[in-house]
Structure 1
Amino acid sequence: MKLVTRAGWGAAPSRYDLAYIASTHGTKIHYEGAYVPKSLAAPGAHGSCAGHVRDIQASHLANRVENYSDIAYSAMVCPHGTVYEGRGLHRQTGANGDQLLNRAHYAVCAMLGNSGLVVPTDAMLDGLVDAIGWLRNGGGAGKEVLGHRDGYATACPGDPLYAWVQAGAKRPDGTAPQGGTSTPVPSSGGIARYQVVINGLSYGYGAQGPHVAEVGKALVKAGYGKHYQVGPDENWTDADTKNFSDFQRSLGFTGTAPHQDADGVPGPVSLQRLLGHLPGKTVKAYGMLPFPGRSAFVLGKSNPAVVTLDNGLIRKGYARHHAGAKYQPGSLFTTYTRDNVRDFQRATPALAGDADGYPGPLTWQLLLS
């Protein structure tokens, strides 16, 4: 088991003492329920995972509606299989829905989202089983392994991970902690065939509805419709996936294999860029997309979230650093981007004390609100 303690990932102190629990019925599995960049699962991206956990803790501590005392989860597991201690052993979780549910089970969160990175890696499944065993051996967790949605009305932990829970929460090699096998997501000929949910609407192979036709028509209008033989309709087919992949690559996304950034399955950033809005139950303004994590903002590297950041800088009037005639939105995080972010941070009282030019959750929220 690869375990990183709270001290190891740089946890902030709890706001107040965490409630002690001697044992639980078992463990519930969660996901983040927001956009998680697929790049977090890249082999060289593990150095960003501790910062990702710090971002989640910071967002929980800032949530005065839920009034969390700390990061809500007992542990988190990254795509590389490392377990990060959250509230830890013998501490009541804050993630399962209410006090009764929180006392009954620990909560382990996989670093998966409802878009972007949505399918667990084999290493992550190993790490989840490690976390369950850690809670059993050291924290008195019982044998139950359930999903967050078991007992609480939520989509968490997402369909791919919930299928794994229902099939027995096994390692990829079929061992422990209890029976069943994991369920792979099908693909065909290298074409992505899975779905994501954005604002309550499904996108990807097999999705249906007027929102699917809207995407197809927008792709044709933008010049990315060459794979249609007849034309777009309300059924998402491989042609939609191929056309959307072409559009994603035009934005600077890379990787066309299933579950890579340009695989043709929309995320909120690319969908917003295509349509100019996000259809669904809770339409969000472009700038209010979820914080993509610090790994999206690495000097000299590209990420589509940088385009969102640049638009916010320009809209707020922090664009004086540039190489050409004026500052232009782009996917590359440059020294000019960092200097413009630093200007915004210095001018914002809540950020001025740590004006390093690299966006965190609060910078993202205040700049793009």
Structure 2
Amino acid sequence: MKLVQRAAWGARPSRYDLAYIASTEGVKVHYEGTYVPKSLADPDAHGACAGRMRDLQASHLANRTEDYSDIAYNAVVCPHGYCFEGRGLHRKTGANGNSRLNAEDYAVCAMLGASGLVVPPDAMLDGLVDAITWLRNSGGAGGRLGGHRDGFATQCPGSRLYEWVQSGAPRPDGSGLPLPGGGAEKGAGPARYRVTIGGLAYGYGATGAHVTAVGEALVDGGFGRHYKTGPGPRWTDADTLNYQAFQLAMGYTGTAPHQDADGVPGEVSLHQLLGYLPGKKTTSSAPPYPGRSAFVLGKSNPAVTVLDGGLVRKGYTRHRAGAKYVPGPLFSENCRRNVADFQRATPALAGDPDGCPGPLTWRLLLS
């Protein structure tokens, strides 16, 4: 996913605090609906897309009739396949037509017009799939997918894009849109490999009383819908799918094999599920990952104090308001920047130093 965050495209601050939303029923697809020059899709024209984002935000902030608090969309996708962060994850959109519709679905807009650029380029379709997947995996979006017109009397998102939405929003190569919550693409199955934690095997084919204990804990936590006869001592695909649902609820993303939410346990998630780690003691001292919802810019959560402690211990405190960095529960911009410094300095994290702590950042910072 080619994500362009708000700071990178020069977003202005929101006029009001954006309403938090834990999850939605799905995603509505939009288009600009005005004239969009065909030249915007030229291979060398991507440099103009950030400016178009700023123009879109400015036009929404200037709309006193709607009294938008920010750009209306959660994400906007340019013709080159880049996903520009609008209101972002867990923020109620302002684009779907009324307050009820805005609470039911996220809104993703394509830089596509009613005239000029009216045919979505392949790169744009790829980017739209990436944006929808991002909202599903990280923002709690459900499986419903529609066009703006499906909830409100409008021509949006235009005939070409609406036909694509109705066909299931496939990628140009024909692959399917990932299932809600980060399920595998059509044709792919659950991860089938094993890991060893504390001397005990977990994953497809592993056997033992410890496997039964995991299954029972999943059922107790409400993550047992894939079992047909109940958990047992042999790890099956049902265990993997149920464990994946638990990982996604923790805030993990990435469901391909060997990613964070592929349904195979790691130490942090296993400790979170069971309250302890069976078998031999491990060397990891990181507390269980609290989930991405603990790290919302401008919001407080006890996990941020723990995160700050790790930043202080490892010396990533150059961004601060006073003479020294003071740990606390508020996930501030200074905290985010310090996390980004740690990520840039850590090879396993340097590819995406966005300052937003994921499970791997949490573990490496606090271990």
Q: TM-score, normalised by structure 1?
A: 0.48
Higher relative contact order (CA 8 A, sep 6+): 1
